[in-house]
Amino acid sequence: MKQQKSNMNRKKHKLSSKWLIILLLLIIGSSTLLVASAFLRQSYVIGNRVTDNLPNSANGSTAGINSTKTTTTINGYSFPVQAQHIPATAVASPDASPNKNATGTPNNPAVNNGATLPPGSALPGESTCASQINMNSFEPRPDNNAANHQVPTAAQIANLHPWNPLIGMDSNSDTLRRRITGNFTGTTDEILQWAACKWGIDVNIIRAEAVTESQWHQSQLGDYTTNKSLCPPGMWNGSSCYQSYGILQIKYTYFQSEWPMSRNDTAFNADFVYGWLRNCYEGWADYLYQATPVSGYPRYHAGDIWGCLGFWFSGTWYDQGAINYINVTKGYYAQKPWLQAGF
């Protein structure tokens, strides 16, 4: 009897141990589920906060930038984020109603964003460029019409001063000068496109500089003087005159053989200026190698088109006047005012 009771006690002990193990497993399992639930809930909160805390530009509130929702994965958890999308430049088209004015005429130029060709590149010919222009009826400056349809005579072109070491240029420079003809007619923007193509320059650089210099008016006058000796022929009014003319402001004082085409012919004005800037960009404006730029700016070298724009303004390399001019023109390059209503 005693032995039987002892066996029963052992069975009870085994039974109690079995239930204790099951109870412990249930407790551990419940705890694991609670921890996992808390983790997932915390991850959900963090995931939602990621988009809530993005800066305004990433949430689509910055002008000119649209946002597109997508998903990303971090540690296996997917949540929404904002991907930046910059709209393409508008293209003027007879069917693109947002780019038309009240009369149905396109009020934006066609897009032609050819990249600036590096120094040493083969440049396209005039006829090639004429065939590649994006033609449309965009003409924000109808006052340019007469100048846009006048081209220099052969005698005027033959009279252009050579670009050679006597004026501080490389011996190769005159090969570029001999390409200048001004032989194109069209709208103001078509002329700028033609010059950009011919000289291998991003057309929006030329458009932007034309805003800086003249707001695209070939009739623009600049550099007022009361010194008669600085005046172009026939421009002295008895007390003063202007020295600079045209859409890109060619200054008579420095470019006398270019008169009167600089005033009268829009295509010549753009053709000449960007031939001059291409020469600089090629590294052939030899006298600039002696120029000392403002501290922090590079010395003259081939391949710096913005430095060459500054050179057109100041006559030297990254002085303060050139830097200011570059910054203003870069602003127009970014803003593209020719695409804006009322330009």
Cα separations (Å) of 36 from 31, 33, 42?
A: 9, 5, 10
Q: Work out the number of other CB atoms within 10 angstroms of the CB of residue 68.
A: 9
pLDDT digits (tens, 9 = 90+) for 214-233: 999 999 999 999 999 999 99
Collapsing DSSP states into helix, strand and coil, what is residue 222? strand
Is residue 46 pLDDT above 60, yes or no? no
pLDDT of residue 264: 98
How confident is residue 115, by pLDDT bands cut at 50, 70 and 90?
A: confident
pLDDT of residue 136: 86
User: Which of 108, 106, 109, 103 shows the shortest CA–CA distance to 134?
Assistant: 109
pLDDT of residue 2: 43
CA dist 312 and 318 (Å) reads 11
Q: In this structure, what are the phi and psi dihedrals at residue 82, rounded to the nearest 5 degrees?
A: -105, 125
CA dist 209 and 341 (Å) reads 19
Is residue 130 pLDDT above 50, yes or no? yes
CA dist 145 and 185 (Å) reads 9
Largest CA distance in the chain: 145
Write out the E strands in the chain.
66-74, 77-85, 221-225, 241-245, 250-251
DSSP annotation of 339 reads G
Collapsing DSSP states into helix, strand and coil, what is residue 122? coil
**Helices (H) and strands (E) in the chain — how many of each?**
11, 5
Is residue 31 pLDDT above 50, yes or no? yes
pLDDT of residue 112: 61
Share of the chain above pLDDT 90, in %: 65
Between these two residues, 128 and 62, which has the higher pLDDT value?
128
pLDDT digits (tens, 9 = 90+) for 254-283: 999 999 999 999 999 999 999 999 999 999
Model confidence, pTM? 0.70
CA dist 300 and 284 (Å) reads 10
CA dist 249 and 210 (Å) reads 9
Burial class (CB in 10 A: 0-12, 13-18, 19+), 225: middle
pLDDT of residue 40: 39
CA dist 304 and 119 (Å) reads 9
pLDDT digits (tens, 9 = 90+) for 155-182: 999 999 999 999 999 999 999 999 999 9
